[in-house]
Structures are given as structure tokens and as C-alpha cells.
């Protein structure tokens, strides 16, 4: 075979600086100036907070915690969980932690929940309107485009097949888990979750109607 040829040589992977190398050894945290605790906090089968990973990580950190280290809890949790058991576990190391506060740890916990719950609640509103407009023959996208022309007081959220990821589906349940102990319920938060859970079925129904129109009714089974 004649003609020009090009030779490709594999380059050895560059070595990451020591500070950027991943490690599963908690002992390396002792050399860090700041430690961000960001581990999954899913739900149990009974849809209650599962804090196993968070508790285990905190216990591992407590064993190597150093004076003057900054510890940031970035995982989703419910109000008062920073004080008990997270803060208690860290204080058992013999060091007194300084927290970056709002006014209380509970306020910081609720701040994170508010920011994440704000979105699924508003997504639920537009999802419910999408189901309504589908029945009465109005284009939801036209409505959203028109509403978005208002220069103030309106934030656009768009309908879809529900919400995904770790934080958005879980955070409302973390917030609504505590109020029953206080003899109250968060009806709006809980209802938004129910609305968003309906959207996959709504989307499947729309797909099936479209396929029925095209003569391929058996392609999708609900």
C-alpha cells in the first residue's frame, strides 16, 4: 500500500498532582484544610431518610479530624441533623468544631432544602398545567412563551416526564419527614411530589395516542 501514513503514539497518562489524586483512605483527610462531606442520603424502602453513608463518613472523619480544619456538610439532610448526630460525632474527637452559620445549623439545613424544593414545587405546577392543557387542547409551550414576556414576577419552568437526579426527588421527602412529629403536614410539598410522579404515565399516554394515530397501537403497552 502506497501513500502517506501517519503514526500515532500513545502518550503516557499525566500524573495528577498529589492534592488531586482520588483516594479511599480517610487518613488523607488529616492533611486537608477543608473537608466537604458530600455523600448520598437516599430514602429507605419505607421512604424515610437513610443516613447510613453520612454517619459512616462522619465517623471516619472524626478519627482524623485536625485543629483548624473547616468541615462543610453538603449532603441533603433534615433540620437538626447537623447537631445530632453529625456535630456530636465530630465533637467526640476532642475538637470543638466551628460551623459557618446562618444563625443556626437548622437554618442552614432548611436553606438547602428550600432551594432544592423550590424547583420541584414549581415544576409540579407547570406539569399539572401541561396535563390540563393536553385535555382542553391548548399548547402549553405557547402559554409559557407568552408568560415569559413579563419582565418581572415570573420564572419559567417547563414540563417534562418528571424529575430526576438525587436531590430534587428526595429533598421534599426529607423536609416532610419531620412535620408529623410537630402535628402538622406540608401539603403543598407532598402534593408536588404526587403530581411529578404522574408525569411519566402522562407522557406514555401521549406517546401511545400518537402511535395509535399512526396505526402502531401495540408498540407501547402501559
Give the domains, in start order, of the chain with CATH numbers: 24-100 (3.40.50.720), 107-219 (3.40.50.720)
Largest CA distance in the chain: 84
Q: Say how far residue 117 (Cα) sits from the centre of its chain.
A: 9
Pick the catalytic residue from 29, 117, 167, 195: 167
Phi-psi region of 18 (alpha: psi -120 to 50; beta: other; left: phi over 0): alpha
Report pLDDT digits (tens) over 143-171: 999 999 998 889 999 998 877 766 777 77
State the pTM of this model: 0.54
Q: pLDDT under 50 in the chain at which residues?
A: 1-13, 220, 222
Q: Which residue has the cell 421534599?
A: 172
Q: Is 167 a catalytic residue?
A: yes
CB 37 within 8 A of CB 81: no
> Which stretches within the chain are classed as H helix?
52-62, 88-91, 105-136, 140-147, 167-177, 187-213
Amino acid at each position: 500500500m502506497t501513500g502517506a501514513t501517519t503514526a500515532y503514539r500513545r502518550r503516557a497518562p499525566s500524573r495528577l498532582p498529589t492534592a488531586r489524586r482520588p483516594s479511599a483512605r480517610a487518613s488523607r483527610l488529616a492533611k486537608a484544610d477543608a473537608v466537604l462531606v458530600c455523600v448520598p442520603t437516599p430514602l429507605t424502602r419505607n421512604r424515610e431518610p437513610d443516613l447510613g453513608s453520612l454517619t459512616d463518613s462522619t465517623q471516619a472523619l472524626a478519627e482524623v479530624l485536625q485543629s483548624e480544619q473547616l468541615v462543610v456538610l453538603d449532603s441533603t439532610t433534615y433540620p437538626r441533623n447537623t447537631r445530632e448526630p453529625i456535630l456530636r460525632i465530630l465533637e467526640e474527637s476532642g475538637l470543638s468544631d466551628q460551623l459557618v452559620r446562618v444563625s443556626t445549623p437548622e437554618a442552614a439545613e432548611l436553606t438547602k432544602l428550600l432551594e432544592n424544593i423550590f424547583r420541584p414545587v414549581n415544576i409540579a405546577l407547570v406539569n399539572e398545567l401541561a396535563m390540563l392543557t393536553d385535555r382542553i387542547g391548548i399548547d402549553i409551550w405557547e402559554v409559557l412563551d407568552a408568560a415569559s414576556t413579563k419582565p418581572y414576577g415570573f420564572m419559567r419552568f417547563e414540563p417534562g416526564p418528571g424529575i430526576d437526579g438525587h436531590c430534587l426527588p428526595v429533598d421534599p421527602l426529607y423536609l416532610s419527614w419531620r412535620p408529623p412529629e410537630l402535628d402538622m403536614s406540608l401539603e403543598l410539598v407532598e402534593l408536588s411530589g404526587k403530581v411529578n410522579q404522574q408525569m411519566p404515565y402522562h407522557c406514555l399516554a401521549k406517546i401511545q395516542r400518537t402511535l395509535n394515530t399512526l396505526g402502531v397501537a401495540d408498540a407501547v403497552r402501559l
